[in-house]
Every structure is written in C-alpha cells, then in structure tokens.
Amino acid sequence: MKMRLKYVNVTWLVGFALSASLSGFLSAQAPVLDWSKPAPLSNLAPGSLSAVGGVAEVRFHPGSMAAFDFQPLSASQTPEGSMAASLQLIAPSGQLARFGTGNAPALRLHLRIGADLLDLALQGQAGKDGVSLDWLDNSGNLWLQFINLHSEIDVKGSELRIKNADAMAGPALRNRLNPNERANSAIFLGEGRVRMRLQGDLRPSILSSCANPNWPTETQKADVALTDIQGIFALRCSGAGCDGPGNANPKVVIAPSASLENVGTKDVPWYQKFNGNFPPYGNDQHPMLIWNMYRIDDDGRMRQIGQSGVKHAFYTINGACNCSNGNILGTQCTDIYGALTNDTPTVGACDTPSECHQGPRSEILPDSVQWARCGSIYDGNCDGNDEDTQPYTSFEHRLTVDENELDATLADRYFFEAWYLVRDDGQINNNIGSRRVTVNWIPPVMNAQGRWTVGENASEFENGSALARWMTQGFPAETLSRFSELKTPNGSVQIGARAKPIAGGLWRYDYSVFNFDAAVSSTEGSQPNLRLLSSRGVTRFAITLPTGATVANARFQDADLTPFNNWNVNRTASGLVFSTPDDDLRWGTLYSYGFDSNIAPGEGFTRVTFGEESTETGIRMLAPSDDPLFSNGFE
C-alpha cells in the first residue's frame, strides 16, 4: 500500500494479506506481483477470458470520509488457490464488453462506519454490464460499486487494467451513511483502479471495426453526440469547508459524469496529449470537455454561476461496438468520463504527468477545436514534453460556485451543461446538452460533516445549449421572448431576449448572450507546435433604440460574479452600448445584460463585436421598437 497526500489508499493483492490502521490513513509497502509470466491458456471460447488474480485499489476522497464518518481499517484476501471460481470476461474485439459468469478474485475490504465494521468482497455478477464492478457482503447486499470504468486488455501482459473508475456507495452503504438522505441518492466516495491476471486466448475473435480508420474530411464530417450528464457531484469546498446557506461563502467544486456516442459514419482520433503525433492531423488530437452551471433568478434572468476549464480526453472505452483501439472512437461506439476523471488530480501532484488532464480554456481555438500546446501550462518552452506534474491547484480549471449561490428552495431553477468539443464535427448542437438540476444541503449528523448534493432528476437530459433550452420552455403570458443564433466567420453566438411589462408603464428587457465557439485569434506555427498569440471574444453588445426611448436600471452580470471587471454601459445617439476593454465574453460562456425602457417591444436590432470594432455583426432581435407589437413573429 502507499500513502498519498490527502487521499486514503487501500490496495489489495491476491495471494497476500495486508493490514494497517493509522487514524484512517493506510500506509505499507505492497509486495510486487510477478506479471512477467504469461497467463496459462485454457479451453475458454474465443473472445472469452478468465480473471484469476490481480490488484484492486481504492483512493477514498477525504471529503467523503469527513462527511460520512467512515474509514478503511484493513485489507485482506483469500489466496488464489482457494478460490472456487474465477470471473469470466467477454471481449470479442479485444475490449471488455461485459462480465460473464463467476466471481472476481476474493478481494476483501474492512470499513468502519461509526462503531460498526463491514467485511466486503469484490464480486462479479453474471450478465453484469461491462462498466461496473461490485463490492458485496456475504448476503449479496451491494455496499460499494466501481462505475464509469476505463478498461484496457493488455494482450502482451495478459492482464485487464481498469485505469479509472468512480467509487460509489451502493444502496446498503447509502442507507447507513446518512439517515437523512434518500436511499437512492448518489454518494461519491473516491477512485477505484483494478488490474487482473487473465487466462484464455487473448486474441480477438472478430476484426476490430476501426482497424483501418475512416477519418473525417472537409466534406464528410464526424458526428459525436453527448448522450447524458449524470452523477453530478459537489466534491469539496475551499477554506474551512462548506457550512450551509447564509454563512461563510467558500467555493464549491462541482463535476459531472458525461456520456457520448459516435452517431456518425467517421472515426474520431482520441490520443492522449504528449503521446505522439498520429493521423489524421499529425498531432495528439483528442476531444475536450467543458461544463457550466446556471441559475434562474427571481426576476427570471438566467445567470452563469460557474464554469470549468478544459478537460483533455485521454482514452475511449469504445462501448457497445467492436472497435478495440482506445485511441480511436469508432462509429456507433460509446464512451463515458466519470466525475473523478473529470477532476484529476484532486489534491497534490499527479503520480505521472499523464494523470493531469485539466487546463485553461484560453489555450483552445474553439471553432477548429485545436489545442495550442506551445506556451501552454504543460509545455511552456515548446519542446514537446509534458514538463510539469503539478501545473494547477485543486481549485484551478474546475467549475467552482460560491456557496451563497446554492439555494435548496429554488427547486429546479438550476441548469447544468456539458459540451464535448470534437474536431471536424459537423453537428455541434448535439455534442452539447443540459439538465435542470436541484441542489440540497445535508446538515451535519453526529460526527459527519454537512455537504451539498446536486440532483439531476428534475428533468430529462436534452441536447443543445442550456440557453436554447430555457428560451423554448415557455414564460408567463405577459412575457415576450425570442431566441436567435448568430453565425459568423469567427464562430457562433446565441442570444436570448425577454421583455415584460413592469410598474410605471415601463418594460423590463433582459438579454442572455452565450458565446458558443466564437473567437478572433492570432497564432504562430502549426500543429503539433501551434502557439496561440492572442484570442478575443465578444467585447461589445449594443441594442438599437428608437427616438424617444428612455433607459433606466441598466444591468450587467458576467460569469465571475465580481464587480471589479464589469462592462461599461453608455447611452449613445443610436442606442445602448455595453463594452469592455479586457473582460471579453469568451467561448463557452454566458453574460447577462438588461435595462428598463418606456418603449414596448417589437422588431429591433442588436450588434455583437468580436475583439476590434471592425468585426461587428448584427442580428434582428426583440428590443424597444416603433414596429407594432405582434407584427414580426413575437406572438
């Protein structure tokens, strides 16, 4: 076993007995298994393998241990020779498809919850889908589960490697951890990893569907769809920690699990950064993932309250298909990144440089989905090497929300959005999607700390931006609205406008502007040695006003929720102008603008400026207007 900063590690090795207890932190040197000898062959059917031994590891999240007052006490296992059965793996294409009959090696875990002890064993379930492993007691109760597995079968080493998995509480453990929570609420505990010795014929029984990749072209694009956002977790708080509504105001880190599917006819490159240069772009091309959180205020305005950095994708499991190459997402294949892999590393340095996956959005050319590696936080000197194992802290490049923005009484007035950026994808509106979510504060119980939960069951997942979804779900009868998408050579911007009558014969106007993927960028060199010299987003948003229009109560809200960089507001002869010298509305970000006026809404005009004023573009939009009401499609 090994000691890591903040994380509690428990490692099991079949054939050995280990035990240690140091105030919840386990520390011991684990024996090294001899993985050099190939596993013996058996009479299993082609594409069917048997796991006969291995290593399992759990890194418990420190926040989970504090929140639920539990700790690992010891680890032990039954010697391999005494096992009655082994776990069958079905892998016809060379990738784990599902688990078959039998049990996994009898790896055991002892946990303390309060004054009670638990004795759990890792078991495989017949017919279980290939994306989870279960820890059960002798009565078959599910206590702990590894989900969102990133698995790989190493033919040469005769082993199955589960590189990443979210460790989640099962129903039995959820019932014990906190009596105030529903039995079906998800509880994130940490990270799981597994290595298993395999026997059987490791050669694929069918040809991999991506053996000869069919890459996207200028005329035949890829099509990767985000299929769900699930398992959204509040992972930790800054400072002394979260203490509930209305008290201190720490930052809360929130991360989701996100699923996707290649619904197109083209294969997609999925190479981990710094892993070499490969076709079709001559670099380490890979998709990237971002996520955002929004709140609908009492006045009906949508505000962005949190945004992540960029998560660099590094491996695909190619589920539900026959592509066996983890560096290529094959057609009709699925993949998932769990909350833990979207938050690596949580604390301290990475074990290896390849374990750091987050980065700033400012290094990305969003419209072409290219990463400017040269000058990045990973390769500042542009030598092609990952030079830093601790390029950021556990709060940088994460989605963080001020705790005071979380209010359990707001029901479903929160949106959570995720977006996979894929190069040469021809249908970008289906690789972004959202859920309405709820937030809830779980008060402290006995020795357990309080914590926030995020529930994604308030509504179904829908593709498209959160702004587009909100604008199409209806408003009160007296509220008029319009949604438009402005497509420019620099990328796309979405605008949602609302107008409603207020006291004094005035109208309240609110505009939510979402910079989808627009940027005016200057670069140097080409990939793989691309350097981003500068990049500007939206710097000016103007609404044309008719003669006689009054303006009062001008409003602006950006995504960082601090007043120090708010945009300037100026009334000109032709309208109202919001502008900034340096707080650009960057891609993947939503800003809110508003004002009150004496003129009723109709067909108006808004203008968006990217970087310098020479790149201004206009679009017709709901605004104060001399046009008769209802004459231009606002009914």
User: What is 33-101 written as a DSSP string?
Assistant: P---SPPPP-SPPTTEEEEEEEEEEEEE-HHHHHHHTEEEEEEEE--GGG-S--EEEE-TTSS--EE-S
Answer yes or no: do 412 and 291 share one domain.
yes
DSSP states of 159-225: EEEEEEEEEEE-HHHHHHH-TTS-TTS--EEEEEEEEEEEES--S-SS--TTSS-----SSS-B-EE
Q: Would you place residue 31 in the very low, low, confident or very high pLDDT band (cuts 50, 70, 90)?
A: very low
Domain final position from 463, 496, 521: 463
Answer yes or no: do 35 and 181 share one domain.
yes
CA–CA separation, 277 vs 151, rounded Å? 23
Q: How many structural domains is the chain composed of?
A: 3
- Whichever domain contains 512, its CATH number is 2.60.40.1510
Which residues on adjacent β-strands are paired with residue 506? 502
Answer yes or no: do 515 and 409 share one domain.
no
Answer yes or no: do 255 and 184 share one domain.
no
In a domain, residue 219? The reply is no
Average the pLDDT over 103-107 and give the result: 55
CA–CA separation, 351 vs 345, rounded Å? 9
- pLDDT given at position 66: 63
Tokens (6 digits) for 78: 């039954």
Residue span of the structural domain in which 269 resides: 224-463
The tokens 């207007």 sit on which residue?
625
Answer yes or no: do 270 and 352 share one domain.
yes
Is it true that the peptide bond before 345 is cis, omega within 30 degrees of 0?
A: yes
In a domain, residue 80? The reply is yes
Q: Would you place residue 13 in the very low, low, confident or very high pLDDT band (cuts 50, 70, 90)?
A: very low
Q: Which amino acid is at 396?
A: E
Answer yes or no: do 371 and 445 share one domain.
yes
In a domain, residue 99? The reply is yes
Answer yes or no: do 454 and 490 share one domain.
no
Is it true that the peptide bond before 280 is cis, omega within 30 degrees of 0?
A: yes
Answer yes or no: do 485 and 445 share one domain.
no
In a domain, residue 634? The reply is no
- pLDDT given at position 444: 78
In a domain, residue 213? The reply is no
Answer yes or no: do 304 and 448 share one domain.
yes
Domain final position from 463, 496, 517: 463
In a domain, residue 608? The reply is yes
Q: Would you place residue 103 in the very low, low, confident or very high pLDDT band (cuts 50, 70, 90)?
A: low
pLDDT over 60 at 85, yes or no? no
The mean-pLDDT minimum among 165-169, 267-271, 538-542, 617-621 falls in 165-169
Domain final position from 430, 463, 496: 463
In a domain, residue 629? The reply is no
CA–CA separation, 129 vs 126, rounded Å? 9
Are 177 and 70 contacting, i.e. CB atoms less than 8 angstroms apart?
yes
The mean-pLDDT minimum among 25-34, 319-328, 540-549 falls in 25-34
Answer yes or no: do 453 and 497 share one domain.
no
The mean-pLDDT minimum among 26-30, 81-85, 109-113, 362-366 falls in 26-30
DSSP state of 470: H
Rounded to the nearest 5°, which phi and psi values hold at 365?
-90, 100
pLDDT in tens, 213-256: 999 999 999 999 999 998 899 988 888 888 888 777 899 999 99
pLDDT in tens, 173-210: 888 766 555 545 678 887 887 877 777 777 777 888 99
Answer yes or no: do 426 and 569 share one domain.
no
DSSP state of 369: T
Q: Dihedral, CA atoms, 145, 151, 155, 156, nearest 10 degrees? A: -90
Question: Which is more confident, 538 or 458?
Answer: 538
Average the pLDDT over 405-418 and give the result: 89
In a domain, residue 424? The reply is yes
- pLDDT given at position 27: 26
- pLDDT given at position 226: 98
Question: Which is more confident, 454 or 248?
Answer: 454
pTM (predicted TM-score): 0.88
Answer yes or no: do 549 and 421 share one domain.
no
